[in-house]
Chains A and B, each alone.
Chain A
Amino acid sequence: MLKFHRLTLLDFGPYRGEKTLTIPDHPGVMLILGDNGRGKTHLLNAFRYALLGTVYRRYGRARSELRSLANLETATAIGFAEFSVTLGFSKDGDRYEVIRHFTDRDGSNRETLILSKNDEPMNRQAADLELRRIMPEAIHQFFLFDSEVLQRYEQLVDEDQSTGEDLKEAIERILGVPILQNARTDVELVAKELARQIQIAAERHGETARQGQALGDLNASIEANESSARTLEEDIERWETEVQDVEREMTRHEQLSGLITRRNLLQEQLTGLEAQQIEAADQLKEVGRDAWRGALQPMVGPVLAELDTQLGRLRSRATELAYSRAVLTRLRDNAELCPTCGHSLTAADQKDLMRRLQSETAADEERNAERLIGLLEIERERIRATAAEQAVITAVIAADRERRRLVLAISDNRVQLEEISDQIRLAGGDGVDLKALTGRHSNLTRLLDRKRRDLGAVRTDLEEQRGRRAQISAKLTRVGGVVDPHITEKNDLVSQLKELFGEAVDLYRQRLRANVEREATRLFLLMRHEQSYTGLRINARYGLDIIYEDGSVVTNRATGEEQIVALALMGALQHSAPVQGPIVIDMPLGRLDQDHKYRVIAALPEMSEQVILLAFEGEFELNRARRDLMGRLVGERQLVRVSGRNTDIREVVS
């Protein structure tokens, strides 16, 4: 496998003068932290430049002009642009050092490439070939990538077919599929040539000329049929992918239908709740008129008690006065005798006694007391009536509770409605036409069936033709001196190889997909903390669906999930590819929450033996990342500002 050892930059980007990054030998993650503008992306580009001779400012857009990579302070000081990048690495036991040097002086630029293998320099052509073998440009994106590359892979599931095909091709390249495809093509070419040689040999002899011609016709016919079979196979593969896409759409639509049904139900409930709310509000307004009486209830008891005391006093006084009045009346009726000793009174004494007994004071007071008692009793009744009865209070409280319950229920319903409407919007809105999808699916399936039938017929023809060719070839080889026995032997071998490679490509693809799916699932479950997800499922273009515990596909993936799926795919491709090497990742954590950032960091060592993570300081808590990586953190570097155009790479000793 490919392994990086040392990267030396000379006046490259913000790295003025010579700066070296030594990469530890043992497996694990190396963290390189730096603020924005300190040169993280330049480091990623330095690896790209060393291996490919090119850099990307933004992936998939214009390549950077190389001269813009020269350090500006140095360029200003020396009057021209110059830089170099040196990468020391090893692969499969061989040691390499690649040096790329660039100068741009007076508008003309020059690039120098020096590649040494085991300390032996190679010539330019051999160096280019060797580097292309070690890191083909089409697959470098699986080793050296940033969040933009990740985003492209996130879109594999939904990408339009042409871009999806490009990505699929790149993925199959790293997985080694073209090796088998090329082998199959080569074998077919050899077979064709051998058949031609047998035909020519046969035509040269008078007794076999007719068979030779027949063989020539048969070869032409077989070639035409093979070409048709290839075209049909390609068509079938394309239609199968399209059928899968439509089926995904239909599944998404089914889930969408479920969401729409749920939303409609919630809307109905909301309408009902709103009607209930109006009713409850009216009810509260009605019974709420007496709410104040309820509030008075606790104070009415004491007030009534006070009134009762007052009434008691007045009643006692009234009783006393009534008694006095009775006594006086008796005295008045018997005024000749002294009320104290019972002796007869003189006329003068009687007159005096009568005068005293006829005083109005007592009678007035008694009348007054009775009037007051009457008034207080009325007030008492009125106050008692002012306070609400318990039933009224209960009704007000019940109406208030109902109103509040409905407010909460409506609020809850609206939140759910908003969430579900968002999900519907994300899943493609209400506008998905199931009828059109079903129609398309049916047409595609019909088309696919027809193509399969056609392919079946062509293969049957081919089998029959090959059989006939084999018979003719056998007859010809039996006629001594017509066909070189070596050609016959080669022909037999090539026929077997053709069959073998023909089956191998499909089988290899199937196994690769299964491997990538299994490995991506393992990484995904390490990085994603959601118990309801059971894994990932791969599609024909190597896009990965998240599978829910009930077996359904998760259609509304959060952006963080997209990123994790892409990282899992990258890791899985590394594991399944014949080419393996270090991963250098620039800013992969931007759209993840804190918990998932640490989960991804902890899973990085699972992606490759050598991982270099470029991140900005503060993106995550360093101590936590150190703890999560445990013994698998093999080095830490910090990109330190020396000046605006000069960055230093310093080792962090923790």
Chain B
Amino acid sequence: MSLANVALTEPATVACVRLQERLGLREKQDVVRLCVAVGLRERLTIEEPDPVPYDGSNFQINGLDPDGELRRLVRRRYSLEEGIDETLRILMSASVLYVADAVDHSRFQTLEDIILGD
């Protein structure tokens, strides 16, 4: 199934707002992209998060990934039983929560740490 819109889960939305404040990025979209990139880099294991409604969501797939760059990498990193968009949707929340947790526990202290990883 191809999705026009994707939403973060509620805890991931809260974490995303905190991260945006902490990292000083302009848009939540910038935070989500960064977290998804980290998720891809770290080959984050993803599980289906709590179901969230697809409509009225906070991100448009085409806005988040206008040139399909993330989806291209998602396709290369993950088995696509759920489809690319669906996998990206799950990865988004999982990645935001992962990065927020790493920041909370000082594994990542700065934007520089997040970008460079280990």
Q: CB-CB < 8 A to A386: which residues of B?
A: 69, 72-73
Query: B69: shortest Cβ distance to chain A, in Å?
Result: 4
In this complex, what residue of A is CB-closest to B67?
A382
Q: Looking at A284, A382, A397, A400, which has the most chain B CB atoms within 10 Å of its CB? A: A400
B17 interfacial by beta-carbon distance below 8 Å: no
**Other-chain contact of B30, A281, A289, A382 (Cβ < 8 Å):** A289
Q: CB-CB < 8 A to A285: which residues of B?
A: 24-26
Chain B 91-113, CB within 8 Å of chain A: the 1/0 string?
00000000000000000001110
B72 and A299 contacting across the interface, CB-CB below 8 Å = no
A403 interfacial by beta-carbon distance below 8 Å: yes
A292 and B33 contacting across the interface, CB-CB below 8 Å = yes
In this complex, what residue of B is CB-closest to A382?
B72
B30 and A291 contacting across the interface, CB-CB below 8 Å = yes
Question: Which residues of chain A (357-383) have a CB below 8 Å from chain B?
Answer: 379, 382-383
**Other-chain contact of A291, B67, B69, B72, B111 (Cβ < 8 Å):** B111
**Other-chain contact of A404, B38, B69, B110 (Cβ < 8 Å):** B110
A393 and B41 contacting across the interface, CB-CB below 8 Å = no
Query: A208: shortest Cβ distance to chain B, in Å?
Result: 107
B41 and A296 contacting across the interface, CB-CB below 8 Å = yes
A296 and B37 contacting across the interface, CB-CB below 8 Å = yes
Q: Complex formed: what's the CA distance from A292 to B111 in Å? A: 10
B114 and A288 contacting across the interface, CB-CB below 8 Å = no
Q: CB-CB < 8 A to B72: which residues of A?
A: 379, 382-383, 386
A294 interfacial by beta-carbon distance below 8 Å: yes
Q: Complex formed: what's the CA distance from A291 to B37 in Å? A: 9
Q: Complex formed: what's the CA distance from A303 to B37 in Å? A: 13
In this complex, what residue of A is CB-closest to B99?
A295
A298 and B41 contacting across the interface, CB-CB below 8 Å = yes
Q: How many A-B contacts if CB must be within 8 Å?
A: 79
Q: Complex formed: what's the CA distance from A67 to B37 in Å? A: 85
B112 and A397 contacting across the interface, CB-CB below 8 Å = yes
B111 and A397 contacting across the interface, CB-CB below 8 Å = yes
Q: Complex formed: what's the CA distance from A321 to B15 in Å? A: 54
B115 and A291 contacting across the interface, CB-CB below 8 Å = yes
B37 and A293 contacting across the interface, CB-CB below 8 Å = yes
Q: CB-CB < 8 A to A400: which residues of B?
A: 23-24, 110-112
B36 interfacial by beta-carbon distance below 8 Å: yes
In this complex, what residue of B is CB-closest to A379?
B72
A396 interfacial by beta-carbon distance below 8 Å: yes
Q: CB-CB < 8 A to A454: which residues of B?
A: none
Interface secondary structure of B, over-half rule? helix
A288 and B26 contacting across the interface, CB-CB below 8 Å = yes
Query: B45: shortest Cβ distance to chain A, in Å?
Result: 15
B115 and A403 contacting across the interface, CB-CB below 8 Å = no
**Other-chain contact of A296, B30, B73, B112 (Cβ < 8 Å):** B73
Q: Complex formed: what's the CA distance from A291 to B31 in Å? A: 9
B30 and A288 contacting across the interface, CB-CB below 8 Å = yes
Query: A269: shortest Cβ distance to chain B, in Å?
Result: 22
B34 and A291 contacting across the interface, CB-CB below 8 Å = yes
B117 interfacial by beta-carbon distance below 8 Å: yes
Query: B83: shortest Cβ distance to chain A, in Å?
Result: 18
B112 and A401 contacting across the interface, CB-CB below 8 Å = yes
Q: CB-CB < 8 A to A254: which residues of B?
A: none
Query: B40: shortest Cβ distance to chain A, in Å?
Result: 6
Chain A 272-310, CB within 8 Å of chain B: the 1/0 string?
000000000100111011011111101100010010000
Q: Complex formed: what's the CA distance from A293 to B41 in Å? A: 11
In this complex, what residue of A is CB-closest to B115?
A294
Interface secondary structure of A, over-half rule? helix
A292 and B37 contacting across the interface, CB-CB below 8 Å = yes
Q: CB-CB < 8 A to A295: which residues of B?
A: 34, 37-38, 41, 114-115, 117
Q: Complex formed: what's the CA distance from A288 to B23 in Å? A: 9
Q: CB-CB < 8 A to B110: which residues of A?
A: 400-401, 404
Q: CB-CB < 8 A to A396: which residues of B?
A: 111, 115
Chain A 295-336, CB within 8 Å of chain B: the 1/0 string?
110110001001000000000000000000000000000000
Q: Complex formed: what's the CA distance from A292 to B26 in Å? A: 13
Q: Complex formed: what's the CA distance from A298 to B42 in Å? A: 10
Q: Complex formed: what's the CA distance from A34 to B18 in Å? A: 54
B24 and A281 contacting across the interface, CB-CB below 8 Å = yes
Chain A 386-415, CB within 8 Å of chain B: the 1/0 string?
100000010011001101100000000000
Known: A379-B72, A382-B69. A292 touches B112 (CB 8 A): no
Q: CB-CB < 8 A to A294: which residues of B?
A: 115-116
Q: CB-CB < 8 A to B25: which residues of A?
A: 284-285, 288-289, 291
Q: Complex formed: what's the CA distance from A173 to B111 in Å? A: 72
**Other-chain contact of B73, A289, A383, A401, A404 (Cβ < 8 Å):** A383
B41 and A299 contacting across the interface, CB-CB below 8 Å = yes
Query: B82: shortest Cβ distance to chain A, in Å?
Result: 20
Q: Complex formed: what's the CA distance from A303 to B43 in Å? A: 12
Q: Complex formed: what's the CA distance from A293 to B38 in Å? A: 10
Q: Complex formed: what's the CA distance from A470 to B23 in Å? A: 97
Q: Complex formed: what's the CA distance from A397 to B72 in Å? A: 26
Q: CB-CB < 8 A to A393: which residues of B?
A: 115
**Which 6 A-B pairs have CB atoms at the shortest separation, nearest pair first?**
A285-B26, A295-B37, A292-B33, A292-B37, A400-B111, A294-B115
B residues neighboring A (CB under 8 Å): 23-27, 30, 33-34, 36-38, 40-41, 67, 69, 72-73, 76, 110-112, 114-117
What would 25 A/B residue contacts be, using CB atoms closer than 8 Å? A285-B26, A288-B24, A288-B25, A288-B30, A291-B30, A291-B114, A291-B115, A292-B30, A292-B34, A294-B115, A295-B34, A295-B37, A295-B117, A296-B41, A298-B117, A303-B76, A306-B76, A382-B69, A383-B73, A396-B111, A397-B111, A397-B115, A400-B24, A400-B111, A404-B110
A residues neighboring B (CB under 8 Å): 281, 284-286, 288-289, 291-296, 298-299, 303, 306, 379, 382-383, 386, 393, 396-397, 400-401, 403-404
Other A-B contacts than A284-B111, A285-B26, 20 sampled, CB-CB below 8 A, are: A285-B25, A288-B23, A288-B25, A291-B34, A291-B111, A292-B33, A292-B37, A293-B37, A294-B116, A295-B115, A296-B37, A296-B41, A299-B40, A299-B73, A306-B76, A382-B72, A383-B72, A396-B111, A397-B116, A400-B111
